[in-house]
Structures are given as structure tokens and as C-alpha cells.
């Protein structure tokens, strides 16, 4: 075998699930006392991720937007296992939703109107999310928020976010950068690739998702809210059917238990999703015929994968995909709230026309309402194609990571939404829906799709997507993919002030930003992926420009924290603090010198000190990373010696006192 041979894979894209959910297990550690902003943040992530489930309805809601939250989410997070099987039923009920909704965020706002431009759909949704994320909580009482109104005056009507679900976002920065972080966040958090050899190219969750709804975008009146929940399922999900997946009974063969179990859960509005189901089914049909059940069709993400190299065993690949044993299926529940039966009926009728538009990227179902307003349900967006290159000797795990990074890079980059109508991109953002024909008859419902596209600097319009086979270009390693560390300059703080409690404040803040940018590569072995380049399909020239390092690492769930090497300035601050406080008061050190450095815990500081001492003791040749000035290292040794001595002294003193109670403190070893 030729070592280091390159394998090239072309990916047509993934389907991005709309509503991932974190595991309870992980949540445990992610749910400390959080600030409302965290909820907001999480809400944004989720909302952005689930934007595909946004339904835009006619406007009857108040123009003012209020967001309220209940800080105490403990009750909601107290999920239990039996909930896995039983809970969903209840949750499928709108009432249940509403109840839970009251427990969390709540946003009332205006929906998008039909005369909005085609290019605004997603933007509006995102904007709402952004506003959501930006809201500030009141200090007391049920926090109320104000959602900023965008120039068009479009708001989601109700945005409900399960408060039990959010990331540990203490490091999260709610700024403009958030917009491009949105979707990728959850991908990273919930779909991080793993090494245990499951579906190779699947975007999947690392954890078992909870049964509760994650995000709800709903409204009493017009806005429809659909909740699409996914959960990991045991490999035998298909045969067991014991999971909570909402499916249509018809043409459902096996999984009888599960289906029957669910049938009663289905709401009369279910037809609305029939279309989506069918569409998905259709899309997947060619790839997933091995899977006998529609479950798979419904749940299976798209795996349009082109193997550009023979080195990769296609057979095994497909086998893997088809393997019910190993594939990490996620049960997917779909909730359609407030779906008018009549509307659904219409859609259902339309669904007969559903066909797979090659250029279509997202499934959705727009339908007209009483007024001239349209409702859209975007089940998912298609992620642009990407190209990766990886060593043949790389491990599967590293391949997964690489793919994950590529996907994350794309999603984390500046995204924009494309609207595809009947296979053609709607490039004119200024046209109205009517002019574009989007709001026309139902026969076109299926022809409408949304795409996520890299928002490249210059070119703003896009041509037809997916033109034939993937074109590999720009397959060289992406220069900026990893080695640029803007950190250096960012960390030049004023650390030389004697005792400023917030010496590192600036550095910490700025460091945070830079810390998220460098792609954290797998650090093990030669298996590390090499070049990883998002590449543009024949039609997507911009793609190659997508920053590869946008991935924000604040992945939730038990994700190892990103590595954030201490800058010299930080070391300086640490040394200074330790000189003053000693080595046994890391809490104080933290407060003193790293107060505003959220990502530096006292444990981190303690660890850093440990390594500093070690570093100071080894030869300069053995040291790695950004060189620490010898002067600092000397101070480290000095301080370490001093405080070690003090500590020993203290111990001896205590011993002495223990034996001589009558004796006051005596200074030995001075």
C-alpha cells in the first residue's frame, strides 16, 4: 500500500438536521447557573439551526416583541429515561408545548409578509434569532426582552426555546459574528464526528438526544411552528420501533409498534409533513434503498457522496450506510403545531407533485393563507459541497473530524441563503415573491428550495447549483486553515500594571475571539488530516474562500475545551499574582489576575503554573510553544521555591503546634 496516498472525497452535501438535541447526560455539566444571556445565546443557536422549521405566516401579531424567560429551568431539565418512550406523546400535544413554552423564552413578533423578497426568508428568521440573542435580560423578575425590529419589520411570532437546552456559552460572544456562527454551532456540538466507526459521513450527534423539544417557533395565530426533533436511536431502531418518531402510518410496514404508538400522536395537521417526508423519501430513495423502512428515509441525512478515489471502498461505504446495526440513526420527531388542516390538505395534494429538483437544497412547504401571506416550512438546508483531502493512513476518526471541520467551516463561514425555485436560483433579491412566482399555485411548492451558500465577498449571486459531478479544485492545503494565530497581537495587554485586578481583561476578551478561530486539529499521530478544503462546485466559485476556521469551539456537551496556550502576557500576570499570593490560592489568583478571562479557571491557572515550573526547569531546547522569557521563568522558580518553603514551614508549624499546644507559633525554617 502506498503510504500517505491522498484520498479525495467529493461531497454533494449533507442534509442538516433541523433540531438536534443535547443529551441529558451532557447537560448535567452544561447547566450550571447560567445567565439569561446564555439562554439567549442558546436560543439563537437553536433557532438559527432550526430556521428550517420556521414557518412564516400572516401578520396578526403585535408589533412589539417581548421575550421573557424563566430562569429556573431545573424542572425542565430533570428529564428521565422513561420520558424517552412516554414523554413524546404528551409533548406532541400543542398544549404540552405551550406549557413548556411558558417555561422558557417567548417571543412575540411579526411574521414575514409575503411581499418580502425571496432572499429575505432566512434572513428574517436569522434576524429574529439575532435579535433574540442580543436581547438583554432584566436584572430581576421575569426577564423581559426587546427584540429589535428589522427594517422590514419582520419578526418571528413566537420563539420558544427550551431552557433546558443550551450550551455552556460562558465564552460566547454575542456580537455580529454570531450570525455566521449560528448553524455551525449545533453541528459542532451535536454532530461532532466520533471515532467509533459509525456512519462515515453522517452528521450525527454524540449523545442521546432528549425527548423534549428544543426550539419551538410557534404562534397561536398565524405563525406555524414546527418542531423537528432528532434523537439518537439504538441501532435496532428500525426493528424495534419503540422510539418516538412521528411517522405517517401509511406505507409504513414494520416498526408497527412505533408507528401505532405514534399514530395517535399525530395531529390532524400531519399532512403538512407528508410532503416533506415524501420528498425526503424520494431524495433518499436512490441512496438508501437498502433500508427497508421509511424511517430511514425520513431520518437518514443525505449522503450524496462521491468517492473520488478508488482507494476508498465504496462497497463498504454503502454497506456502512445501510447497516442498521451501526448507523447512528436519530429518531426524528416532527411536530407541526397550528397547522391548519385545510392548509395541510392543500399541501398534501401538492405533494403528489413533489419531485426532486436537482438544484434544490432545502425542503420546505410554502402555502398560502387567507391573506397574501405565505408560510414556509423549511425542513433543512443543504450544505454546500466541500472537498477534503486526507492521508490514506488517516484514521476513520480523523476523517470524520476532517469532514466535520469542513462542514463546520462552511457552516461557520458567512452564510447566505439562496432561494431556488424550480431548480433555478432566484438571484434577484428585490423581486417580490409574487413576481418571482414563489407564492403561486401549489404546483410550485415543491420547486422551492433554500440553500446555504458561502457568502463570499464579491460575487453575490449564484448560478445553478450542483451542475454535474463535483469539480475538484483548490485541493491544495488551505493556507489559512490552521497556522495563522492572530493571538499574538491580540494578547498584548497591559499586564505590567502592579495589581490591576483586570489586567488580563482585554487580553482575555480578545483572546477569546482568536481562540475560536484557529482550527484545533486533532493532535494525535500521523493520521491527522492534511489538507481540508471546502471547495466550490462548478457553480460555486466562492466556496473555496470560506474561512476554514470559523468553527467556534464552544461545542457543548463534554467537548474538550479548546486549547488556549497562555500568552506571555498571561504568564506575566500569572507569575505576578503567584508571587504575591502564593501557590495555594488559585482562586485568588484567578480573581486577581484573570478576573475577566472567563476561559481561565483557577484550575487552569494552577495547571499553568505547574507547567511553568516544569518549563523553567528543563532546558530551553526542550521547551515548546511560544517561548516564555527567561526572566519570567526565573521568577517562576523563585516564587515556586519561596512559596514551597512557606508551605513547608506552615506544615511544620502546624505539626509543632499539634505537639505543643501550649506553645504559640514558632518560626522554624526561616
Nearer to DNA, 32 or 664 (CB): 32
Nearer to DNA, 77 or 583 (CB): 583
**C-alpha cell recorded at residue 243:** 422510539
Does 610 contact DNA by CB under 7 A?
yes
Query: Of the candidates 6, 440, 480, 587, which one interacts with DNA according to CB under 7 A?
Result: 587
Does 282 contact DNA by CB under 7 A?
no
Does 583 contact DNA by CB under 7 A?
yes
- Which residues are within 8 A (CB) of 294 and not within 5 positions of it... i.e. 6 or more apart? 247, 248, 251, 252, 277, 281
**C-alpha cell recorded at residue 127:** 434576524
Nearer to DNA, 66 or 601 (CB): 601
Nearer to DNA, 457 or 523 (CB): 523
CA distances from 547 to 45, 190, 413, 562 (A): 20, 21, 6, 18
Does 509 contact DNA by CB under 7 A?
no
Judge whether 163 and 395 are in contact, CB under 8 Å.
Answer: no
Does 613 contact DNA by CB under 7 A?
no
Compose the 78-117 pattern: x for residues touching DNA by CB under 7 A, - for all others.
----------------------------------------
Applying CB under 7 A, the site for DNA has a residue count of 23
Q: How far apart are CA 531 and CA 533, in angstroms?
A: 6
Q: Which stretch binds DNA (CB under 7 A): 228-236, 239-247, 530-538, 600-608?
A: 600-608
Does 645 contact DNA by CB under 7 A?
no
Q: Which stretch binds DNA (CB under 7 A): 45-53, 389-397, 451-459, 598-606?
A: 598-606
- Count the neighbouring beta carbons within 10 Å of the beta carbon of residue 57: 31
- Return the HEC string of 580-648: HHCCCCHHHHHHHHCCCCCCCCHHHHHHHHHHHHHHHHCCHHHCCCCCCCHHHHHHHHHHHHHHHHHHH
DSSP string, 150-202: PTT----S-EEE-TT-----TT---STTHHHHHHHHHHHHH----SS---TT-
Does 603 contact DNA by CB under 7 A?
yes
Judge whether 432 and 112 are in contact, CB under 8 Å.
Answer: no
Does 516 contact DNA by CB under 7 A?
no
- Count the neighbouring beta carbons within 10 Å of the beta carbon of residue 175: 11
**C-alpha cell recorded at residue 315:** 462497497
Does 602 contact DNA by CB under 7 A?
yes
**C-alpha cell recorded at residue 222:** 398565524
- To DNA, the closest distance from the beta carbon of 605 in angstroms equals 9
- To DNA, the closest distance from the beta carbon of 586 in angstroms equals 4
**C-alpha cell recorded at residue 587:** 482562586
Does 570 contact DNA by CB under 7 A?
no
Nearest partner of 310 among 657, 662, 1, judged by Cα: 1
DSSP string, 400-468: HHHHHHHHHHHHHS-EEEEEEETTEE---TTS-HHHHTTTS-GGGGGGEEEEEEE--SS------S--S
- To DNA, the closest distance from the beta carbon of 33 in angstroms equals 7
Judge whether 455 and 488 are in contact, CB under 8 Å.
Answer: no
Nearest partner of 331 among 199, 196, 240, 197, judged by Cα: 240
Compose the 538-557 pattern: x for residues touching DNA by CB under 7 A, - for all others.
--------------------
Query: Of the candidates 1, 2, 3, 32, which one interacts with DNA according to CB under 7 A?
Result: 32
Nearer to DNA, 390 or 593 (CB): 593
Which value, in Å, is the radius of gyration of the alpha carbons in the chain? 27
Does 35 contact DNA by CB under 7 A?
no
Does 611 contact DNA by CB under 7 A?
yes
Does 560 contact DNA by CB under 7 A?
yes
Q: Which stretch binds DNA (CB under 7 A): 91-99, 100-108, 352-360, 606-614?
A: 606-614
Nearer to DNA, 499 or 610 (CB): 610
- To DNA, the closest distance from the beta carbon of 565 in angstroms equals 7
Does 558 contact DNA by CB under 7 A?
yes
Query: Of the candidates 307, 467, 562, 637, which one interacts with DNA according to CB under 7 A?
Result: 562
Does 653 contact DNA by CB under 7 A?
no
- To DNA, the closest distance from the beta carbon of 34 in angstroms equals 12
- To DNA, the closest distance from the beta carbon of 304 in angstroms equals 35
Does 511 contact DNA by CB under 7 A?
no
Nearer to DNA, 477 or 559 (CB): 559
- To DNA, the closest distance from the beta carbon of 79 in angstroms equals 21
Does 640 contact DNA by CB under 7 A?
no
**C-alpha cell recorded at residue 66:** 417581548
Judge whether 297 and 281 are in contact, CB under 8 Å.
Answer: yes
Does 584 contact DNA by CB under 7 A?
yes
Q: In the complex, which residues of this chain contact DNA (CB under 7 A)? A: 32-33, 558, 560-564, 583-588, 599, 602-604, 606-608, 610-611
Amino acid at each position: 500500500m502506498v503510504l500517505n496516498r491522498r484520498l479525495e472525497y467529493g461531497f454533494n452535501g449533507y442534509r442538516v438536521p433541523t433540531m438536534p438535541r443535547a443529551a441529558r447526560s451532557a447537560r448535567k455539566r452544561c447547566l450550571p447557573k447560567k445567565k439569561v444571556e446564555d439562554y439567549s445565546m442558546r436560543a439563537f443557536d437553536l433557532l438559527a439551526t432550526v430556521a428550517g422549521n420556521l414557518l412564516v405566516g400572516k401578520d396578526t401579531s403585535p408589533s412589539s416583541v417581548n421575550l421573557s424567560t424563566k430562569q429556573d429551568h431545573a424542572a425542565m431539565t430533570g428529564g428521565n429515561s422513561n420520558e424517552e418512550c412516554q414523554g413524546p406523546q404528551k409533548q406532541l400535544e400543542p398544549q404540552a408545548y405551550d406549557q413548556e413554552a411558558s417555561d422558557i423564552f417567548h417571543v412575540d413578533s411579526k411574521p414575514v409578509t409575503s411581499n418580502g423578497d425571496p432572499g429575505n426568508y432566512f434572513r428574517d428568521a436569522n434576524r429574529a434569532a439575532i435579535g433574540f440573542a442580543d436581547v438583554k435580560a432584566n436584572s430581576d423578575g421575569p426577564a423581559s426582552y426587546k427584540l429589535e425590529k428589522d427594517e422590514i419589520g419582520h419578526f418571528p411570532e413566537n420563539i420558544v426555546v427550551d431552557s433546558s437546552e443550551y450550551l455552556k456559552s460562558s465564552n460566547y460572544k454575542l456580537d455580529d459574528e454570531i450570525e455566521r456562527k449560528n448553524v455551525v454551532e449545533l453541528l459542532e456540538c451535536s454532530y461532532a464526528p466520533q471515532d467509533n466507526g459509525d456512519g462515515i459521513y453522517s452528521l450525527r450527534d454524540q449523545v442521546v438526544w432528549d425527548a423534549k423539544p428544543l426550539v419551538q417557533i410557534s404562534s397561536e395565530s398565524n405563525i406555524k411552528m414546527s418542531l423537528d426533533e432528532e434523537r439518537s436511536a439504538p441501532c435496532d431502531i428500525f426493528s424495534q420501533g419503540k422510539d418516538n418518531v412521528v411517522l405517517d402510518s401509511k406505507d409504513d410496514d414494520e416498526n408497527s409498534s412505533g408507528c401505532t404508538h405514534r399514530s395517535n400522536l399525530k395531529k390532524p395537521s400531519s399532512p403538512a409533513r407528508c410532503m416533506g417526508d415524501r420528498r425526503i423519501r424520494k431524495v433518499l430513495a436512490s441512496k438508501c434503498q437498502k433500508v427497508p423502512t421509511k424511517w430511514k428515509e425520513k431520518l437518514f441525512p443525505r449522503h450524496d457522496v462521491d468517492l473520488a478515489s478508488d482507494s476508498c471502498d465504496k462497497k463498504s461505504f454503502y454497506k456502512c450506510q445501510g447497516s442498521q446495526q451501526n448507523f447512528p440513526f436519530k429518531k426524528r420527531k416532527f411536530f407541526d403545531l397550528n397547522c391548519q388542516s385545510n392548509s395541510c390538505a392543500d399541501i398534501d395534494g401538492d405533494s403528489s407533485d413533489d419531485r426532486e429538483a436537482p438544484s434544490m437544497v432545502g425542503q420546505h412547504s410554502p402555502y398560502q393563507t387567507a391573506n397574501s401571506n405565505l408560510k414556509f416550512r423549511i425542513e433543512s438546508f443543504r450544505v454546500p459541497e466541500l472537498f477534503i483531502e486526507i492521508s490514506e493512513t488517516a484514521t476513520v476518526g480523523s476523517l470524520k473530524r476532517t469532514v466535520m471541520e469542513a462542514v463546520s467551516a462552511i457552516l461557520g463561514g458567512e452564510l447566505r441563503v439562496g432561494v431556488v425555485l424550480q431548480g433555478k436560483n432566484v438571484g434577484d433579491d428585490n423581486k417580490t415573491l409574487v413576481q418571482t412566482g414563489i407564492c403561486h399555485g401549489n404546483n410550485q411548492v415543491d420547486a422551492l428550495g433554500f440553500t446555504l451558500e458561502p457568502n463570499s465577498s464579491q460575487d453575490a449571486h449564484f448560478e445553478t447549483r450542483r451542475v454535474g459531478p463535483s469539480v475538484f479544485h483548490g485541493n491544495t492545503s488551505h493556507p489559512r486553515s490552521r497556522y495563522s494565530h492572530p493571538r499574538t497581537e491580540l494578547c498584548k495587554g497591559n499586564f505590567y500594571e502592579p495589581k490591576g485586578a483586570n489586567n488580563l481583561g482585554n487580553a482575555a476578551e480578545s483572546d477569546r475571539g482568536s481562540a475560536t478561530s484557529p482550527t484545533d486539529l486533532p493532535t494525535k499521530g500521523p493520521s491527522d488530516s492534511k489538507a481540508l478544503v471546502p471547495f466550490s462546485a462548478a457553480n460555486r466559485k466562492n466556496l473555496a474562500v470560506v474561512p476554514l476556521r470559523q468553527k467556534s469551539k464552544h461545542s457543548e456537551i463534554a467537548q474538550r475545551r479548546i486549547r488556549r496556550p497562555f500568552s506571555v502576557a498571561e504568564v506575566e500576570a500569572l507569575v505576578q499574582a503567584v508571587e504575591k499570593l502564593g501557590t495555594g490560592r488559585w482562586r485568588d489568583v484567578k480573581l486577581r489576575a484573570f478576573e475577566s478571562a472567563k476561559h481561565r479557571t483557577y484550575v487552569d491557572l494552577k495547571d499553568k503554573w505547574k507547567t511553568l515550573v516544569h518549563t523553567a526547569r528543563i532546558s530551553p531546547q526542550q521547551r515548546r510553544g511560544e517561548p516564555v522569557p527567561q526572566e519570567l521563568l526565573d521568577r517562576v522558580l523563585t516564587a515556586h521555591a519561596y512559596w514551597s518553603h512557606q508551605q513547608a514551614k506552615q506544615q511544620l508549624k502546624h505539626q509543632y503546634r499539634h505537639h505543643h499546644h501550649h506553645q504559640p507559633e514558632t518560626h522554624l525554617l526561616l
